[in-house]
Amino acid sequence: MTSAPTSTAAASPTTAPRRPPAKRHPLLHPAAKVVLFLVCLLPLAWYVFGAFADRLGANPAETLIRGLGDWALRLLWITLAVTPLRTWTNQPALARFRRMLGLFAFFYASLHLLAYGWLDKGLDLADILRDIGKRPFILMGFTAWMLLVPLAATSFNRAIKALGAPRWQALHKLVYAIAVVGLMHFIWMRAGKNNFAEPLVYGSILAVLLGWRAWRRLRR
């Protein structure tokens, strides 16, 4: 009696279909910080080009000094806007750009101070110190820059570990005072020409940013 033939082919195991790799959020892409870095350098690139191409107007020194100061304020305001935007848009990845934005605010503030000392005062330290003591808006600007120095000097991970998170956070809350002092510098500087339109815009934005933080703290 012959037996029924058996199949020699091995049963192939069932394999689950491969899922496509999850797409990385654009804000988390390594190139995002590079793009932001280059974008933050664009104002400086424009002023360098304008200086060499003679496109900074009738008073290039004043254009350069004021323009660099404007960008220091703008980047400081953008830095302060990161946390509210992160909350309103539910995009926690925005927080990874805050440090770079803050450092660029310090960078442009330093260039603003250097341009003032070089182009307006010829790097005459005695003349600069007299000007700081004589004109309140210069004093406010210099004070804002001095307060920015410790924040920039501790804007790296080793400093956070050395200071401890609570002390580091307390130190970096100086940014709110810096913003107010910087706004006073801007208002007094523009008051000399009775130009209050731009300071009003900057002040309104700062009021929203600081008011949101105060409201959030009261809710807690």
Residue count (the chain): 220
- Identify the CA nearest to 109 among candidates 135, 75, 159: 75
Q: Are 112 and 68 in contact (CB under 8 A)?
A: yes
Residue at 34: amino acid letter? V
CA distance 54 to 48: 10
CA distance 218 to 202: 24
Mapped onto helix, strand or coil, the DSSP state of residue 7 is coil
Residue appearing with tokens 């104002």: 43
Spell out the per-residue pLDDT of the chain, length 220, in tens.
444 444 444 444 555 566 655 566 788 888 999 999 999 999 999 999 999 999 998 899 999 999 999 999 999 999 999 999 999 999 999 999 999 999 999 999 999 999 999 999 999 999 999 999 999 999 999 999 999 999 999 998 899 899 999 999 999 999 999 999 999 999 999 887 778 899 999 999 999 999 999 999 898 7
Q: Provide the whole-model pTM.
A: 0.86
Q: Is 145 exposed, middle or buried (0-12, 13-18, 19+ CB in 10 A)?
A: buried
Cα distances (angstroms) measured from residue 188 to each of 72, 176, 200: 16, 19, 12
CA distance 69 to 35: 23
